[in-house]
Structure 1
Amino acid sequence: MENLMETGSLHYYLAMIWFILWAVLWAVYFILDGFDLGVGSLLPFLAKNESEKRAMFNATGPFWDGNEVWLIAAGGVTFAAFPYAYAQMFSGLYMALMLLLFALIVRGVSFEFRSKVENQTWKTVWDWCHTLGSFLPALLLGVAFGNIFQGIPLDETGFSQAGLFGLLNPYGLAGGVLFVVIFLMHGALWLTIRATGDLHARAESLAVRLWPVEVVLTVLFLAYTAVATNLFSNYFLYPALFVILLLPVAGLVLMRTYLGSKKYWMAWASSCLYIGGTALFGVAGIFPAIIPSNPNPGNSLTILNSSSSALTLEIMLVVAVIFVPLVIGYQAWAYKKFATPMGEDDIHY
């Protein structure tokens, strides 16, 4: 890795800005798509009849495609700002990413196809497509980022020597399990906002039961991280970074506090704080690497050896300043318009 103090060039500062934006885009994606992946994963376990199934689909229906814009943005930034890291991700993580994309496609199709035929078998098939298309991305994202945090075995050319089964190591799977539980909790909290009646009550009860599971898994994952990765190296080198850990800790405490006082929007916002803080904790730990190499750190792909030219990064920054506020404005309008409890009139068959 480059010595962080040796580079004061414009290229370095632009690459650092885009690394921060890259981290923020992934954190926002986990926050926004996390709740609808969680709701989809909970479909066969919370919905007891057709009306409740439709309510769960409609709870995320106005948002899911807009939420996935942030996945496209995060992938696009990786491609344009850090093309060598992007090339490695789509080679070393190829099978995992293809499974992720296929699952998201099936899930997206299920929103439209489920209601096209009034047949129970047809609906059941698409219900399970929706559930698996929500569960698998949560699991695969956790496995992928767990492996990135742990470090991927890169050769001298920067390409991974690990296949799909190499990614399914204990730490990667631990990351997958944690992501699944985080998204289930996030989805249950979203349903406390959008659902009414018995579905709302079951979602609230589930969130209360999931909270201690999320706390225990978070503590265990942090302990596992300390012994299985070098993620804490930056924190010991720059102790001020430990402030980042206050975000997920505060999120967990506030989540349960607001859930107990029936302030569901604030509980969900606290879950957002927890997810964002957890993502930023991991990304700060790997800096300045985009794809750390393990066991040969010298082969890591960093913000400098994997980034585009300074001119490219400058042009991208101008484009981002213009268009990102438009995306944020649209999504803010959508959430204000649709993020209210659903009544019977909002559930269409």
Structure 2
Amino acid sequence: MELHDVWFVLIAVLWIGYFFLEGFDFGVGVLTKLLARNRTERRVLINTIGPVWDGNEVWLLTAGGATFAAFPEWYATLFSGFYLPLLLILVCLIVRGVAFEYRHKRDEARWQTNWEHAIFWTSLLPALLWGVAFGNIVRGVKIDGQKEYVGDLFDLLNPYAILGGLVTLTLFTFHGAVFTALKTVGDIRVRARGLALKLGLLTAALAIGFLIWTQVSRGDGKSLIAMIVAVAALVGAIGAITAGREGWSFALSGVTIVAAVAMLFLTLFPNVMPSSLNEEWNLTVTNASSSPYTLKIMTWCAGIATPLVLLYQGWTYWVFRKRIGTHHIVDAH
């Protein structure tokens, strides 16, 4: 396997890790309006992800940096062609981080309500737009012979990509609901289970249609295996949350995300960004990659730094592993 193939796999792993981890905290952000009944319950939800949300975003930064260094042509075409959606995602992530930090700085109800609205919308929009973006990457966009995107914003709003956005939105919200049930106690835990079941059924209806569409249009034997794993895991996650097994449900919803994103990358390879105008203009792991020397240096750096990051993030989750409830909020106040 060539180094550019290795880095395609590593970038896929980074995106898988990002969607697995950021997926549930996007979902929790959406649930601050769908599940929480009052400000105390919203504080419980926010506190479940408070220690980890910023660490989850490290995976996005690493994925973007790795793409820039390993596949500069892919990075340039992607960020120029998807400029407005990616800018909107970036703004949402910035505002979201500010909202988490500023919400509790004042006691005024209006101040806190405004930041709670911000948390909801800046969680919902990225969860939707990431699916739209990856749907377009897999489907193919208007790339010319100079490796430049020549379409417009409306070309990105096609039925396949929009369905992909709805899938990521519902899947992440389901993932977040299961995480909430896993991390809370009392009435909010019970209601999170019930909402997770409803979200799981909606997610299954959308995701199965999207994955079948992907498999029929661009899939092969490997992507078919990934699709079967994703669907089976999603069904298992729904069954587990119905039985009150939050841990198993969270693990299986995570497997669903892992398998579904892996399927998208399997349908791409050896392309990184197909052209809908001419297959000869596809960006591939070969024509979009950096020099072998650059990839070699990157591989050494990644081999040293990655285990340290994983150990630190794993330790963070272990430290903040206990459940919380509304009674903890009262005591803290």
Q: Into which bin does the TM-score normalised by the smaller protein fall?
A: over 0.9
Partner SS, residue 290 of structure 1: strand
Which of the residues 33, 45, 48 maps onto 1:44?
Answer: 33
Query: Given the alignment of the two structures, is residue 345 of structure 1 paired with residue 328 of structure 2, yes or no?
Result: yes
Which of the residues 101, 108, 132 maps onto 2:90?
Answer: 101
Q: Which amino acid aligns with 1:246?
A: I
Partner SS, residue 2 of structure 2: helix
Q: Which amino acid aligns with 1:40?
A: G
Aligned to 2:167: 178
Q: Which amino acid aligns with 1:81?
A: A
Please state how far the C-alpha of 1:222 moved relative to its aligned partner: 2.5
For residues 260 and 219 of structure 1, the distance between their equivalents in structure 2, rounded to whole angstroms, comes to 20
Partner SS, residue 171 of structure 1: helix
- The residue correspondences of 1:105-124 to structure 2 (distance < 5 A) are 105-124=94-113
Which of the residues 282, 285, 293 maps onto 1:303?
Answer: 285
Closer, same or farther: CA 258–70 of 1 in aligned 2, 3 Å: same
The Cα offsets for residues 170-206 of structure 1, whole Å up to 9 and x where unpaired, read as: 1111111111000110000000011221211111100
Please state how far the C-alpha of 1:219 moved relative to its aligned partner: 1.8
For residues 64 and 295 of structure 1, the distance between their equivalents in structure 2, rounded to whole angstroms, comes to 39
Aligned to 1:208: 197
Aligned to 1:149: 138
The answer for unaligned runs of 5 or more in structure 1 is 1-11
- Is contact 1:38–1:134 with CA below 8 Å preserved after alignment? yes
Number of corresponding residues: 331
Aligned to 2:62: 73
Higher mean C-alpha deviation, range 334-343 or range 102-111:
334-343
Partner SS, residue 115 of structure 1: helix
- Is contact 1:193–1:340 with CA below 8 Å preserved after alignment? no
The Cα offsets for residues 195-239 of structure 1, whole Å up to 9 and x where unpaired, read as: 221211111100111111111111211333356x4x21xx1xxx3
Q: Which amino acid aligns with 1:291?
A: M
- The residue correspondences of 1:315-330 to structure 2 (distance < 5 A) are 315-330=297-312
Aligned to 1:288: 270
For residues 249 and 262 of structure 1, the distance between their equivalents in structure 2, rounded to whole angstroms, comes to 20
Aligned to 1:6: none
TM-score by length of 2: 0.96
Please state how far the C-alpha of 1:259 moved relative to its aligned partner: 1.4
Which of the residues 167, 170, 183 maps onto 2:156?
Answer: 167
For residues 345 and 206 of structure 1, the distance between their equivalents in structure 2, rounded to whole angstroms, comes to 23
- Is contact 2:96–2:119 with CA below 8 Å preserved after alignment? yes
TM-score by length of 1: 0.92
Higher mean C-alpha deviation, range 252-261 or range 152-161:
252-261
Partner SS, residue 38 of structure 1: helix
Which of the residues 46, 53, 58 maps onto 1:57?
Answer: 46
